[in-house]
Amino acid sequence: MSCVFCAIVGGDAPAVRIYEDDDYLAFLDIRPIVRGHTLVVPKKHTVDLTDTPPSTLADLIRIGQRIGLAARDSELKADGCNIAVNDGKAAFQSVFHIHLHVAPRHAGDKLSFAKGLVIRRDPDREATGRILRDALAELDVKE
């Protein structure tokens, strides 16, 4: 299966490009949730958090921050931004090339970014904490 973001990076698919350097590209989302909704992608294909280097994720955030600042300082006059990575199908990732969403927001815009989420109580927070601490320790051993 071909990757639409790789096609955009390669110039084989159209996009409204707003930022580009040797390693990253930012372009307007074709299905924006708000005006200025931008996607930031590494030019080198990785799928999700499992195969993307931490330095790449840091660069995505760095670029996303600049885009968010530009949205505030421009005629878009954003009051803030949602910045998110949807990691995997269960988290609503629909294009399997890691990407950062930057969605400019305005006070009172009534956009519900996480509509339908319900607050759930963890029946055993201590056990959940132990599970995650143990998994982090295991990752340290692997690295």
Q: What is the pTM of this model?
A: 0.86
* Spatial separation of the C-alpha atoms in residues 49 and 124, rounded to whole Å: 26
pLDDT digits (tens, 9 = 90+) for 7-53: 999 999 999 999 999 999 999 999 998 999 999 999 999 999 999 99
Tokens 């924006």, residue located:
32
CB atoms within 10 A of CB 68: 21
* Domains defined for the chain, CATH in brackets: 4-112 (3.30.428.10)
Residue 99 annotated to the active site:
yes
Identify the pLDDT of residue 121: 80
Select which of 45, 99, 101, 106 is catalytic. Answer: 99
Identify the pLDDT of residue 135: 85
pLDDT digits (tens, 9 = 90+) for 107-132: 998 887 666 666 678 788 888 878 87
Tell me what the mean pLDDT of segment 78-85 comes to.
95
